[in-house]
Structure 1
């Protein structure tokens, strides 16, 4: 995966290239139409544009460190970031995981969601809005990775709300949450 990422970064269009070329470079990892097939790489389709803009800004400014993304956003203007975010946000939402859901895991996750009010910020259908990401249909492995990073404070956000929410949630519960969210329609 690292080799593939290095190839994409080395092929990243110069700042004068077209928006279409830049989006194509994004989709090399994040998948055709924003539907990622790469382990631990998120699907970006139907993410709120403002959320995407914030993430791109955080990558560019190295406020969120993921080397490949830091390199990809280096040298891009605010207008470049806005154009990328607006274009990617228009891609279709990812489909939910296709396997039949385990009712016990779904029920445990729903109880956690009610207890911690996940659907207050992320919406009842987990589509996100404004600065809050879409979770519905996201890759399960990516959700596990992101939730663990928020819990152990290795992933920065623009506020501490996720770390606060996840403080009391154990790893088994993280697995159930990710399982549920990957299967939400």
Structure 2
């Protein structure tokens, strides 16, 4: 999981989709030609998405609430983000042999229904933190940034509750595990500038002035927001 995520910097955000192979959910895949990330679907059906998600539970937990600190939670994730990630895996634009195999079987409607289902699920409980001072420092950075160092508050894009913004494709980060959150923060901070996609580029710029202790503090707060 970690190896594949770290090689997907341009798409890596607080939510990387990792799941066991869906056993022939549908014989799908993107239509030939055209933009592989452009999806065509009717009104998403969350109930159907719940049925399709049954085999995701092995990694992501019931209802998308993972209890594995190395596996991201999908519960409460914004649907635009989930759709984009699954489309990217299906098109083999994002590295991950497991997820590419999973997404290869999905039709556009399957992707939309899965995204609707996970978006409808309540965010999982906060992870326990034993360092109150570290969490408090992370909260200050998340809510207010650090103007003296040119660090913008995370809440500007992700919201004060960390739930993201669907219409902008900004992911929910609330209650992701501290280890997973820290891994992704490292990815954004260390990736070179590439332009093109505004969210990853914005993350790189925001995190550039922050040090390792700052990133650990943010991860501690993100993982225990609720």
Is the pair's TM-score, using the shorter chain for normalization, greater than 0.5? Answer: yes
1:39 aligns with 2:69: yes
Question: Closer, same or farther in 2 for the Cα pair 1:52/1:98, shift >3 Å?
Answer: same
Calculate the aligned-residue CA RMSD, in Å: 2.6
Higher helix proportion: 1
1:111 aligns with 2:140: yes
1:180 aligns with 2:192: no
Task: Structure 1 unaligned segments of length 5 or more: list them.
Answer: none
Aligned equivalents of 1:61 and 1:29: distance in 2? Answer: 22
Count of aligned pairs between the two proteins? 178
Task: Structure 2 unaligned segments of length 5 or more: list them.
Answer: 3-18, 29-47, 146-151
Deviations 1:102-148 (A, max 9, x none): 33212321332212220011011111120111111111111111111
More displaced stretch, 162-171 vs 140-149: 162-171
TM-score, scaled relative to structure 1? 0.84
The alpha-carbon deviation at position 175 of structure 1 amounts to 1.1
Deviations 1:31-72 (A, max 9, x none): 112111223210111111112111211222223222211211
The alpha-carbon deviation at position 74 of structure 1 amounts to 1.2
1:162 aligns with 2:173: no
The alpha-carbon deviation at position 21 of structure 1 amounts to 4.9
TM-score, scaled relative to structure 2? 0.70
More displaced stretch, 42-51 vs 60-69: 60-69
Runs of 4+ in 1 over 6 A off after TM superposition: none
